[in-house]
A and B are shown apart, each in its own frame.
Chain A
Amino acid sequence: MRLYETIFIASPTLTEEQVDELVKQYEGIIAEQGGELLKTDKWGRKKLAYEVQKFSEGYYTLFEMNAGPKLIAELERRFRNNDAVIKFMSVRLDVEAKSAARRKARFDREGKRKAAAGIKERPPEEVAG
């Protein structure tokens, strides 16, 4: 199982209720395919940074879930086949978290080294000058 984050944009031609229905439908698919949904975040209607399929607005929805690659493939296939979804993206969070942990370890190590060497940490305000 991997930790994924999937974000999709629903068409602005839908009403709020239709979007809710759509989200429920996808939640159902995730559950059905053996995924574990951790979070559903509805951002609501937002302006897009550029036109997508001639639309300049859309409903953003974010899923966070534990899932296998097969589920993501299936989910994306359904996004592609659904005209109500104008854009989507999946990101693997477990990989991100791993590299973040590595970076944190490096900061900690550096901090310890500096403390041992008696170098004081400069407060952010001072660095910003």
Chain B
Amino acid sequence: MKKRPDAKGKPKKKKVFSGRRSKFCKFCVEKSVLIDYKDIKTLQGFTPERGKVLPRRTSGVCANHQRMLVESIKRARNIALLPFATD
């Protein structure tokens, strides 16, 4: 099925996201092939307050990258770069 372009020639946006920003996988946009466990800045963005891993449904990260991300977070935790849990 073809998407019908609107007046500006852009494909119509889905109604579901109206008013809300659509989710996208940050890593897919960057075309990252490796998520480094030493890159704490990036990893911290996906481990909010308590230090848990941000779920995919919230972050919008794709399945492949989420798997890589989790692996990296676990490695970072192992070597005390990231906390296992914080209160």
| Chain A interface residues toward B at CB < 8 A | 7, 9, 48-50, 52, 58, 62, 87-89, 91, 96, 100-101, 103-104, 107, 124, 127-129
A-B contact count (CB 8 A): 41
Q: Which residue of A lies closest to B30 (CB)?
A: A124
Q: How far is the CB of A106 from chain B (nearest CB, A)?
A: 9
Chain B facing A: main interface SS: loop
Query: Beyond A89-B75, A129-B21, A129-B22, is A103–B33 a contact (Cβ under 8 Å)?
Result: yes
| Chain B interface residues toward A at CB < 8 A | 21-22, 24, 29-31, 33-34, 37-38, 64, 75, 77-84
Q: How far is the CA of A103 from the CA of B83 in the complex (A)?
A: 29
Query: Beyond A87-B80, A89-B75, is A96–B34 a contact (Cβ under 8 Å)?
Result: yes
B24, A50: Cβ atoms closer than 8 Å? no
A100, B24: Cβ atoms closer than 8 Å? no
